Structure 1
Amino acid sequence: MPSHSSPSDLSVAQLQAAFREHQITPSDALESVAARIHRDTGFNGYHAITLDEAQHAAEESDRRWEQGRPLGPLDGVPVTVKENLGRRGVTMPSGTALPDPPSPERDAPIVERLHEAGAVIVGSTVMPDWGMLSSGVSSRHGISRSPWNPQLTTGGSSSGAAVTAAAGHGPVHIGTDIGGSIRLPGTWNGLATLKPSAGLLPLDHPYTGRAAGPMARRAVDLFPLMSVAARWDDRDHSSHPYPPLDFTTRASSPEGMVVGLQMDGGPGLELDDEVRAAVSAAAEIFASYGARVVEVPAITTESLLRRIDDFWRARSLNSLLNLPREPQQGEVLDYILAWCRKAQSRSAAQAVGDYEALGELAARARALTRHVDVLLSPVTPQLAFAAENPMPHPHPEEPMAHISYTLPFNMSGQPAGTVNVGKSADGRWIGMQIAGPMASDADVLRLMAWWEQVRPASAAPDWASLDAALLSGSMQL
C-alpha cells in the first residue's frame, strides 16, 4: 500500500495488491470507508447504509484472500449502487417521499454480479424524484451537495453516487443514465465515468435509453467493474449477448485515429466560454499525439429534444396516474409534478410521435459519427449550479436544455465516457465526453486512461487536497 495513504484512497488495483500482500484486509478497507461515511453525512449521499451486510461480505473476503483464493478483481473492494438498482430487502423509493416504497425480493443483475465477484456493497445512493432531474434535489432525501463545494450541485440523477465517488467511499460506484445522469454528475465532480453500450450491463427495469455504469475518481477503476458486470442476463428483455469484450486495464493513444470534435451541441443552453476553451485544448492534445481531428455538426435538434422531453413527461405522467392515490404535498417535488403534468394536454397520437423521436435521434447519432473512431465534445454546456436548484434552468415548462451533447448516445446505445479536462476560474470542474461505436466500451476506457496520463496538471483533480479538506471538516456547510 502506498505510504501515507488511507485504504479509502486506493485504486482497485492498489487495494488488490495490498490484500494480496496482506498489508491490509478487506475488513480494514471497509473500516476506512465506514469512517468516511459517518464523516460525510452533510453531503447527503446515501438512501441506505448497509454496513452490517458489508461487514459480513468483507469478512468472507478476508478469508478468501488469506487462503489465496480471491473471486476476481473486485473481491473485497468497497462499492455503492444507486437506489434504483434493486437490492433484496432494501427499499427503492426512486427519490420520492411517497409512502410504502417497493422492496425487491431479488437483487438486480448488476448487484448479483457484484456479490458473485466478492465486492463489498456499503450502501445504496440517493437520486432525485424519479431520476428526472440533473441535480441532487429530492422530496425524500433533501439536497445532495458536492464534496468539492457544498454550495454546488452534485448533478443528477446519479447524485449520491457522485458524492460517494468524489468523497472516496471506495474506488468505484454505480449509477444509471437515461440522458446524462452518470455523465453530468461526473463532469461536475471531476470524475471519470462510463455510460456503456445499450444492454451491456443488464437491468431489471430496462427502457429505451436507460443504462447503468461506473463512476470513479480514476478511469482505471472503471475497467474492473466492467469486467465483472458486463455479462448478459435474460431478465433484461431489451438486451442481447455481446461478443466477449477485453476490459484488461491499459491505456491507448489516439495516434492514427479519426477523432470527431463536436463543439456545437445544437439546441439548449449556450456553451460556456471556459468549457469551450477546455475541450478545445484537449482536442489539440489529441491532435498532437497523432489523431486527425475533424469537425462533427450538432446531433441533437430543437425538434428532437422537445419531442423526447415531451415523451418523458408523458411517461412520468403515466407513473403519476398509476399511483394508488394523488401525491400529498411534499411527497413528489412540485417541479416534477409541474413538469410531467404538462403532458396532460397532449394526445395519444402526439405521445406516439414523441416516442418516435427516440429512434430518429438514435439514427442521426449513428449517421453523424459513422466516419469517426471516437467523438469528443463537452459533456454539458454549463458549469455546476447551486445545489438547491432542481435544474440548471428554473422553468419546468422548458425542455432539458443542458443534455444536447449526452442525450444522443442514450438513444443510439453507443458508449460514452467522461474525463476531466479543466477547471473554471472560480474552481468548478469541466468534463469532456468521449463517445465511440457500439461495443467499443473498452476502447473508450483506454482513451480515457491515456488522457489521464497525459493531461495537464491543471486538468487533474487534486484528490489528496480534497481528502485533507474533508478530514479537517472545512468542506462541510
Structure 2
Amino acid sequence: MSLADLTAVELLAKYRDGSVSPVEVIEDVLARVDALEPQICALYALDAEGARAAALESERRWREGAAGALDGVPVTVKENIATRGTPVPQGTAATLLSPAVEDAPAAARLRSAGAVIFSKTTMPEYGMLSSGVSTFHHLTRNPWDVTKTAGGSSAGAAAAAAAGYGPIHIGTDIGGSIRLPAGWCGLVGLKPTHGRVAVGNPYPGRAIGPLTRTAGDAALALSVMSGYDPRDHTSFPASDDEFGVELEGLRVALLLDAGVGLAVDPAVIAAVSATADVLSKAGALVEPIDPIITREMLDGLDRFWRIRSATDIAALPEERRAKVLPQIREWVSTAGDLSGSDVFHGYSQMGAMAAAVGQVFTAYDVILSPVAPITAFPAELAYPTDDPSKPFEQIGFTVPYNMSQHPATTVNVGWSAAGLPIGAQLAVPHHQDMRALALAGYLADHQTESRAWPME
C-alpha cells in the first residue's frame, strides 16, 4: 500500500515511532496527484512546493517533540473555505479573483494543528449543484467510474478522498453537499451539528465537515476543527461527546422513502435494508417510519434559494452575469414570478423541516436512510434530472438535517450492479456527532463486501 493510502490515524502512529516522515508522505501524495489528476480533476490551487516546505517543518516538529494533533497529515480544503492568499471563485467564472486575506476558522484550526494543506478542491457553480459542473473548474469525475459524477457540491473533496490524495478532505454542506458526494464515492462524510465547526460566514443550513475513507479519520478531523470562533456567531465551544455507541436497545428509525423527489433505486433500498438487518442482529430496535418531509417543504426551499441566488446574480455586472452557468441562469430566471408571500412561505418551510425531524427524534436515537435515491449519474449533467426547473429531487434524504441542524454522516454499505458505491446515512440528535461516526465505523467493519479503493 502506498503511503498516500494510509489513514491519518496510521500516519500519526508512524510519525510518532519515526518509521515514516511527513516528507515521504507528501511526496507519495503528490505522485498520486500527478498520475490521476488529469483524469479526475479534483484539485484547485495545488501548491506542491508549499506542501513540501510544510512537510519539512512538520518533520522538524516531530523530531523536537512539538507536533500538533494533525502534524504532517496531508489535507485538502474545499475552495469556498478561505485560505490566505488564494482566491475563492465559488466554482464560477463570474467571480472576480481576489486572494483571501486570512484563513477561515476551519482552515486556521487545521493549519494550527500541523496539517499540510497542499491544495484546495473543486466545487460546482456557486455550490448549487449535486455534481461537479462548473464554469471555472475542469469537470470533476468519480474515481470509481470517470464517466460518472463525484457528486457535489464538495465534488473535488470526494474525488480526492476516493482517489487517495491523502486521508482528510474538508467540504461544506447546505443540502447534502458533503454527504451526497461521500455516498457516491464510497466515503464517510459528516455534516456536523451546526455551529460545531465555525464557518466564518454562516447562513441557514451551511456546515463544514470532513470527507474521509474511515470514521476514525473523520472523528480526528472533527475534533481539530471544532470550537467557537468570534467570526461565526453561530459557533459554540467544542463538545466532549465520545467516539462510541451501544447498539443493544438502540432505537433506529428506518427511512426508505424520502416522501419527495426521485424514486429510490431498488439496489439502494436493498443495501440500506441489509444495513438495518446488521443493526438489528446487533441488538438495535429497528422500525420503518413514514417520510419526514413533504413536497411543499422541498418546493418552499427551492423558492427561497431561487430568490436568494437570483438576487446575488442580479447584483453582478452584465458581463459577469453572462458567465454564470446557463442551467443556473435558467433556474433563477423564474424568480421574478414569485411574490413576497411565496418567498416568506418558502423560508418558513425550512422551519417546518426542522420541526418534522425533531419530532422523529422524540421516539428514536438514529434515523437510517439512503444518502441518495440513486447511484452516481453521468458526470456531464448539472442535475440528475437534467432539468434546471427540478434541481433538488436528489436531496430529499439529506436536506432535512441541514434545516434541523442535526449531525448526519454517511458510510458505504453496498455496490450497484455496475460497481458504483451505495451509501447509507445516519442522522442522530444534536451534539452526538461522534456517536454517529462510531456507528458508521461499526457498519464499515461489518460490511458483507468490501472492495479495494479504485485507484490504489
CA drift of 1:210 comes to: 0.5
Cα offset for 1:448?
Answer: 0.8
Distance 2:301 2:263 in 1: 20
Q: Shift in Å at residue 59 of structure 1?
A: 1.1
Equivalent in the alignment of 1:474: none
2:247 and 2:284 in contact (8 A); partners too: yes
Amino acid at match of 1:357: Q
Question: Runs of at least 4 residues of structure 1 off by over 4 A?
Answer: none
1:230-249 to structure 2, matched below 5 A, reads 230-241=226-237, 243-246=239-242
1:99 is displaced (CA, Å) by: 4.9
Equivalent position to 2:362, from 346, 365, 370: 370
In the TM superposition, residue 325 of structure 1 has moved relative to its aligned partner by 3.3
Equivalent residue letter for 1:236: D
Which residue number in structure 2 is paired with residue 32 of structure 1?
28
Question: In the aligned structure 2, how far is the partner of 1:439 from the partner of 1:129?
Answer: 31
Q: Residue 81 in 1 paired to residue 77 in 2?
A: yes
Kindly provide the CA deviation profile for residues 254-293 of structure 1, in whole angstroms up to 9, marking residues without a partner as x: 2221111111110111111000011001101100000001
Q: Is contact 1:252-1:449 (8 Å) kept?
A: no
In structure 2, what is the Cα distance between the partners aligned to 1:50 and 1:145? 21
Q: 1:289 aligns with which of 282, 304, 308?
A: 282
Question: 1:19 matched to which residue of 2?
Answer: 15
Who is 1:134 aligned against? 130
1:260/1:369 contact within 8 Å kept: no
Q: Distance in 1 between matches of 2:364 and 2:429?
A: 9
Deviation of 1:326 after TM superposition, in Å, equals 4.6
Distance 1:261 1:83 in 2: 35
* Equivalent residue number for residue 311 of structure 2: 318
Taking a change above 3 Å as real, the CA distance of residues 78 and 364 of structure 1, as seen in their structure-2 partners, is same
2:81 equivalent to 1:93: no
**Which residue number in structure 1 is paired with residue 452 of structure 2?**
462
Residues 385 and 391 in structure 2, CA contact (< 8 A), matched pair in contact too: no
TM-score, normalization by structure 1: 0.93
Counterpart in 1 of 2:152? 156
Confirm or deny that 1:379 pairs with 2:367: no
State the partner residue of 1:432.
424
Structure-1 residue corresponding to 2:261: 268
Indicate the residue corresponding to 1:69 in structure 2: 66
- Tell me, in whole angstroms, the C-alpha distance in 2 between the residues paired with 1:62 and 1:142: 34
2:50 is aligned to: 53
What stretches of structure 2 of length at least 5 have no aligned partner?
Answer: none
Deviations 1:24-81 (A, max 9, x none): 1111111111111111222111121022222222111100111222112x11000000
Q: Does the 8 Å CA contact 1:113/1:229 hold for their aligned counterparts?
A: yes
**CA drift at 1:370:** 2.1
Measured in 2, the distance between the counterparts of 1:340 and 1:461 equals: 41
1:97-155: CA deviations, max 9, x gaps?
12522322011000100111000001000000000000011011131111111101010
Contact 2:314 2:321 in 1 (8 A): no
Letter of the 1:335 partner, please give it.
Q
Matched letter for residue 182 of structure 1: I
Inter-partner Cα distance in structure 2 for 1:271 and 1:71? 44
CA gap 1:99/1:420 in 2 versus in 1, 3 angstroms: closer
Q: Report the AA paired with residue 429 of structure 2.
A: P
How big is the shift at 1:204? Answer: 1.4
Q: Output the CA distance in 1 between the equivalents of 2:110 and 2:160.
A: 17
Q: Determine the C-alpha separation between the residues in 2 that align with 1:258 and 1:442.
A: 17
User: Does residue 108 of the first structure (1) align with residue 104 of the second (2)?
Assistant: yes
TM-score (norm 2): 0.97
- Opposite residue 151 of structure 1, the aligned amino acid is T
Shift of 1:358: 0.9
Q: 1:337 aligns with which of 329, 333, 337?
A: 329
Q: Residue 226 of structure 1: CA displacement?
A: 0.9
Distance 1:243 1:65, change over 3 A: closer
Contact 2:260 2:295 in 1 (8 A): yes
Structure 1 CA distance for aligned equivalents of residues 372 and 361 of structure 2: 18
The 2-side partners of 1:60 and 1:174 are apart by 22
Contact 1:91–1:101 (8 Å) recurs in 2: yes
Q: 1:63 is matched by which residue type in structure 2?
A: R
Q: CA deviation at 1:368?
A: 1.9
1:167 is matched with which residue? 163
CA contact (8 A) 2:227 2:235 kept: no
Give the partner amino acid of 1:380. Answer: A
Q: 1:338 to 1:16 in 2, by over 3 A?
A: same
Which SS does the other structure have where 1:352 is aligned? helix
Distance 1:453 1:57, change over 3 A: same
Structure 1 residue 440, shift from structure 2 partner: 0.4
Distance 1:9 1:108 in 2: 27
Q: Distance in 2 between matches of 1:427 and 1:13?
A: 28
Letter aligned with residue 48 of structure 1: A
What is the DSSP-based 3-state SS (H/G/I as helix, E as strand, rest coil) of the residue aligned with 2:146? coil
Q: CA RMSD for the aligned pairs?
A: 1.3
Between stretches 363-372 and 319-328, larger displacement belongs to: 319-328
| Counterpart AA for 1:374 | V
Percent of pairs with identical residues: 43
- Structure 1 residue ranges without an equivalent (≥5): 469-477
Match in the other structure for 1:472: none
The separation in 2 between residues aligned to 1:190 and 1:259, in whole angstroms, is: 22
For the residue of structure 1 that corresponds to 2:414, the secondary structure is strand
SS of the counterpart of 1:152?
Answer: strand
Q: How many residues align?
A: 455
Conserved 8 A contact 2:195-2:236: yes
Q: Is the 1:306–1:399 contact (alpha carbons within 8 Å) kept by the matching residues of 2?
A: no
2:292 corresponds to: 299
